[in-house]
């Protein structure tokens, strides 16, 4: 089981990891496939592809769950119960690759592009995490405001 979506070239599907059930930690590979019917369902749900894309940015959990439900044929509640929160980036990359394949992009190229976007997203999260650690380190151990010496250093104009 990989931490990246995989492509089954014969069926031109992308697989993503989902738990077998809400109560079982066993993970299985589930195929994603965008057909004309699933693309129609996206348009019916979000109005158009651009609105769907925007929803993936603004409401990622809800939109990922609904999209995975459409592309797997599984009920949304079941998909949500089986999703692994730590792998949301894998789901996003898998959806991107499956959507690209449905639009005629070579599966190998679609996966390479999705894997690259996933790596960039992970790198951005690491930068944010590092910035948060730095911010936490300067506020004191109990999360209090910086001490007077720190405030002077932060507000000094360098005169």
pLDDT at 6: 53
For residue 13, pLDDT over 50 is answered with yes
pLDDT at 119: 75
- The lowest-confidence range among 53-67, 82-96, 115-129 is 115-129
How distant, in Å, are the alpha carbons of 39, 85, 95, 112 from that of 119? 26, 17, 15, 11
The pLDDT tens digits for 15-49 are 889 999 888 889 999 998 888 888 999 999 999 99
pLDDT at 99: 87
pLDDT at 109: 82
Would you tell me how many other CB atoms lie within 10 Å of the CB of residue 107? Answer: 19
Q: Which residue has better confidence, 94 or 119?
A: 94
% residues pLDDT > 70 (the chain): 76
- Name which of 37, 55, 35 is nearest 46 in CA terms: 55
pLDDT at 153: 44
% residues pLDDT > 90 (the chain): 32
């Amino acid at each position: 089981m990989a931490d990246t979506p995989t492509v089954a070239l014969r069926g031109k599907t992308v697989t993503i990891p989902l738990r077998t059930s809400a109560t079982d930690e066993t993970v299985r590979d589930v195929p994603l496939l965008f057909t004309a019917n699933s693309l129609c369902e996206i348009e019916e749900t979000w109005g158009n592809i651009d609105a769907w894309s925007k929803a993936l940015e603004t409401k990622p959990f809800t939109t990922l769950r609904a999209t995975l439900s459409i592309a797997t044929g599984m009920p949304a509640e079941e998909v949500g119960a089986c999703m692994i929160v730590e792998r949301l980036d894998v789901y996003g990359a898998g959806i991107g690759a499956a959507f690209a394949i449905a639009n005629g992009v070579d599966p190998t190229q679609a996966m390479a592009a999705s894997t690259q976007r996933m790596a960039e997203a992970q790198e951005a999260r690491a930068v944010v995490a590092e910035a948060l650690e730095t911010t936490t380190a300067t506020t004191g151990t109990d999360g209090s405001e910086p001490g007077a010496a720190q405030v002077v250093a932060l507000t000094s104009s360098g005169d």
